[in-house]
Amino acid sequence: MVKTSKQLMKSILRKRASNKPDEINEQSALSDSLDYQFIEELKKTKLSLLLDENHEFMKAIFKDCSDIVVREFEIEPHIPALLLFVDGLTNTQLLNDTMKSLMLLGGGETSIERIVGTILPVSQTQISDNYGDLLVSVLGGDAALLVEGNAKAILLGIRGTEKRSVGEPETETVVRGPKEGFVESIRTNTSMIRRKLKTPRLKMKSMSVGKESNTNLVICYLDDLAMPSLIEEVVKRIELIKIDAILESGMIEELIQDNAYSPFPQMQYTERPDVVAAALLQGRVTILTDGTPFALIVPFVFIQIMQTSEDYYERFQIGSLLRLLRYVFMFLSLTTPALYVAITTYHQDLLPTTLMLSVAASREAIPFPAVVEAFIMEITFEALREAGIRLPKAVGSAVSILGALVVGQAAVQAGIVSAPMVIVVSITGIASFTIPRFNGAIAIRMLRFPILMAGSLFGFYGIFFSLMILLGHMANLRSFGIPYLSPLGPLSANDIKDVFIRAPLWQMDKRAEFLDIQDVQRMDEKLPQQIMKDGGLDGSSIAHKHKASEEGNQNGTS
């Protein structure tokens, strides 16, 4: 019978324990409890002084793993050693230089401490005395060096994986602002944040999640701004995650959010380093996940759904106008189909007579009630939008646009839906595209359907009642202890200047008070006050050409 890796490791542990009577009970108990969540258990298993035992244990763990390389060689003079690494995850050139330097080592002394301190051409090294830390490091791209007579291993930081180059974010495009976005390498992402915030106050706490994936996480925060209670809560929730693998930051978001049944997002995700830097400067906490370009930011409130980084890069008049426009179109995206159905079904007297007759004439040959029309068109529009996303980029946009035009025109000509309904659904779709946050736009799109049903059953009363229930739910929602409707509910007067409009930057001298951070003061007011006091440069000291010519003419005349 073919033994599994688990069975081989158990047998090796029992064999090793039988050779050391004083460790029989400990190793036997460990071998019985060993399971495929074995990283934590293996951290309790110490490396052996004998290289052959370590080699045998590694072969048992990595049985049938063709990408795992165990390179045996000798350190001068004739001291056995081996290097353990994953083919494709390490820097081959640095690995060859390391082996060359070890083969030239002389003097007969081969202690781990001497090797680390004298000859290794590697800047990052660690020493491990257990199998658990060794495995996590090797599977993350490092190489492990084991030497005969040493119950420790040297972990060499020579990762060299292929990674995507830094490019412009695809989900958060801006006209004015940085054009760089996160990539799938967590160290590249941390370096981009560090370039934005060159301060030792920026802390990056490493963690690992997933029994099989051992996904690396980094929790970023500014320790002079973020509240210690918020940092402790984030760390505690992540430590409580017990799952086989974390493959994307969205899995962490769903596991640690406050209310899993709410349609509204309670954590912000972004692939822009400048957005993360701005969030850290507000006292928030960021979670970076290895293998994904999307970082999570907590806490998150509703008004952030309507904000973009470009609001703060353009002048405040432009940012305020665009933000007001987004709020108007968010309301239209949520209620336009329901309002149309309610008016045409219950409240026809609200329409001008001419418009009412036009709508009635267009619906005369339609066999379905208005609510069925709305559902047919809304579901069709959502299907076309999904098809446009899933199809290749070269044809996706063309298919979605042409599909909407062709299907809409054909449905009107066939008498399935009316022309006004096509206009209403088109306005609703365009309005949903103006919402900056994709997860917030999806929530609005989902809530559109129950509000549409309530409007078809009870008219305006149903719509208003649905909106009141929605506001009540949002008022009761929390994101890591912060009320979701902050700073509107509870009201924070100082923070209103950055909700529906954006005040001038020099007036936003304080950070958001509803976040409960350590330092509220953000900037000094001396510069704008000095400019206003001086009235700007009046130009009296600047020599103009026309002024000099006039003076010359006057001198000549005299």
In order along its 558 residues, the chain shows pLDDT tens digits of: 445 556 666 666 666 656 555 544 444 444 444 444 567 778 888 898 888 888 988 888 888 888 898 988 888 667 888 999 998 888 888 888 888 887 776 655 667 777 777 777 777 888 888 888 888 888 888 899 998 888 889 898 888 777 788 888 888 888 888 999 999 989 899 999 999 999 999 999 999 898 888 899 999 999 989 999 999 999 999 999 988 899 999 999 999 999 999 999 999 999 999 999 999 999 999 999 999 999 999 999 999 999 999 999 999 999 999 999 999 999 999 999 999 999 999 988 888 989 889 888 888 888 889 999 999 888 888 888 887 777 776 666 666 666 666 777 777 877 888 888 988 988 998 899 899 999 999 999 999 999 999 999 999 999 999 999 999 999 999 999 999 999 998 888 888 999 999 998 888 888 888 888 888 888 876 766 676 666 655 555 556 665 555 555 655 555
99 lies in the same domain as 43: yes
330 lies in the same domain as 449: yes
Bridging pattern class, strands 215-222 and 202-209: antiparallel
Q: Is residue 465 part of a domain?
A: yes
Query: CA 493 → CA 20, 508, 543, distances in Å?
Result: 71, 12, 48
136 lies in the same domain as 191: no
**Residues, the chain, total?**
558
Domain count for the chain: 3
332 lies in the same domain as 277: no
Handedness of CA 302, 305, 308, 309 (dihedral sign): positive
Q: Could you say which of 457, 483, 509 is where a domain stops?
A: 483
Q: Could you say which of 445, 468, 483 is where a domain stops?
A: 483
Q: Is residue 495 part of a domain?
A: no
Q: Is residue 212 part of a domain?
A: yes
In this structure, how many other beta carbons lie within 10 angstroms of the beta carbon of residue 394?
7
Q: What is the Cα 364 distance to its own chain's centre?
A: 50
33 lies in the same domain as 113: yes
Domain that holds residue 98: 5-156
What is the Cα–Cα distance from 110 to 404, expressed in whole angstroms?
73
What is the Cα–Cα distance from 418 to 376, expressed in whole angstroms?
11
Q: Residue 437: exposed, middle, or buried by beta-carbon count in 10 A (0-12, 13-18, 19+)?
A: buried
Handedness of CA 528, 529, 532, 534 (dihedral sign): negative
220 lies in the same domain as 256: yes
Q: Which two tokens stand for residue 321?
A: 């106008």
Bridging pattern class, strands 215-222 and 153-156: unpaired
Which distant-in-sequence residues (6+ apart) come within 8 Å of 345 by Cβ? 369, 370, 371, 456, 459
Q: Which two tokens stand for residue 150?
A: 């040493």
Q: What residues form DSSP beta bridges with 289?
A: 217
295 lies in the same domain as 252: yes
> Which single residue is written with the structure tokens 């290895």?
290
For the chain, state the CA radius of gyration.
32
251 lies in the same domain as 340: no
98 lies in the same domain as 218: no
329 lies in the same domain as 457: yes
> Which single residue is written with the structure tokens 């001419």?
354
131 lies in the same domain as 241: no
Q: Could you say which of 483, 501, 535 is where a domain stops?
A: 483
152 lies in the same domain as 192: no
Are the beta carbons of 447 and 334 closer than 8 angstroms? yes
